[in-house]
Amino acid sequence: MKRVAAAVFLIVTAVSLSVWSSFVFNAEMDSLLRTIDGLIDFSESCSSEELEEKTEILLAEWEKSSKLLHSLVMHEGMDMLEEDITSLPLIIEHSDREEFKKKCIEAINQIENLINAEKINIENIF
Amino acid sequence: MVVTLIRATVLYVIIIFLMRIMGKRQIGELQPSELVVTILLSEIASIPMQDNSVPILHSVVALFALVAYEIFSSVIGLKSNKLRAFIQGHPVIIIRDGEIDIKALKKLRISLNDLVSLLRQKDVFDISQVSYAVFETNGKISVLLKPEHRNSTVKDLGISPSDKGMPFTVICDGAVVDNAVEQSQFDISKIQKLVLSSKIPVEEIMIMTVNKDGIAYIARKDNEN
């Protein structure tokens, strides 16, 4: 009976961890996605200083989320996203709006790929 | 490097915890499904140990789920013969009255050489001495020799030795083994009396056993009995 109780505890823990990690992952990724999306729109009609400020907000958000996300997602996928996001301030310095937009879109694609890889569907299961 | 050390420690603790939950069995006694789960556990645990970019949580979820499924299947197997047969298979008789069941051997994909080797491991060198040999679900064979080839028992000899029961190691390396004292069903005061009568201090006792009649064997650390 003790063993069955232990097995129930293990399976409940496994399911809870999976559900919690998926919930946290989706929430963090959605938030990042919205911020980067907003940044693209904002970059079309703002000054470099304003854009720099908004990018700093994105970087702060990334700093906050990345710690948790690294414990939930394979680091390889996260590294590419990190590279895209952390390169944004440097691109603003060179006042290259097109390149900025391109990097933002790349980051969005990375996030979408990570979200898709965690979705419960036939492709991911098999 | 320190991260690897910490990750290895965490995984070691988890694996030990899971192995304790799975229960005590030796490798040779594992059913095929248990063996597969045991190998899988070590494989899954080794991945985040080798690669720091893999989150430990991924492995933990898989490890917990596998052990839970293993326990559930063994518990359900205890209650349902059909499921047990499905997971573990059936024992198969491969020798009847000294005659090998070739059909059964072919079905089990065991060669005659394998069979002879398995019999030799059971100290049986002559197949004609075998009454029954059963291929068990854990890959071992059980052998029943013909009556004339079986070892004689105390009953066969018509004698009735007294049963002194199993001796319990109540003191080991100068320390009282509480669990063994409890199992021996003797009061600790009785053990203390036995120790006092031996005139050897507890810390100088290498090993002390008592059987159900309260007869003690005491060995001193310097080997004086």
CB contacts under 8 A, A 40-79 vs B, are 70-76
Task: Flag whether A6 is in a domain.
Answer: no
Write the DSSP symbol of residue B152: P
B10/B68 same-domain check: yes
A109 token code pair: 């694609």
Is B64 in Cβ contact with A11 (below 8 Å)? yes
B7/B72 same-domain check: yes
* pLDDT on residue B27: 61
Q: In which band, very low, low, confident or very high, does the pLDDT at B105 lie, cut at 50, 70 and 90?
A: very high
Task: Flag whether B163 is in a domain.
Answer: no
Q: What's the domain count of chain B?
A: 3
Burial call B165-190: b when 16+ CB within 10 Å, e when fewer: eebbbbbeeeebbeebbeebebeeeb
B13/B79 same-domain check: yes
Domain that holds residue A81: 21-125
Q: What's the domain count of chain A?
A: 1
B129: CATH: 3.30.240.20
> How confident is the model over A26-36, as a mean pLDDT?
90
pLDDT in tens, B6-63: 888 999 999 988 888 887 666 666 777 888 888 999 899 888 888 888 888 889 999 9
Domain that holds residue B32: 2-86
Q: In which band, very low, low, confident or very high, does the pLDDT at B73 lie, cut at 50, 70 and 90?
A: confident
Task: Flag whether B206 is in a domain.
Answer: yes
To probe the interface with A, which of B17, B25, B57, B59 has the most A CB atoms within 10 Å? B57
A111: CATH: 1.20.120
> A108 to each of A21, A30, A77, B28, how far by Cα in Å?
20, 10, 13, 53
B21/B72 same-domain check: yes
Task: Flag whether B27 is in a domain.
Answer: yes
A1 reaches B (C-beta below 8 A): no
Task: Flag whether A79 is in a domain.
Answer: yes
B81/B6 same-domain check: yes
Q: What residues of chain A lie within 8 A of the CB of B16, using their CB?
A: none
To probe the interface with A, which of B21, B56, B78 has the most A CB atoms within 10 Å? B21
Is it the case that residue A58 has pLDDT exceeding 70? Answer: yes
Task: Flag whether A46 is in a domain.
Answer: yes
**Percent of chain A surpassing pLDDT 70:** 99
pTM (2 d.p.): 0.68
What does A13-39 look like in DSSP terms, one character per residue?
HHHHHHHHHHHHHHHHHHHHHHHHHHH
B179 token code pair: 């669990």
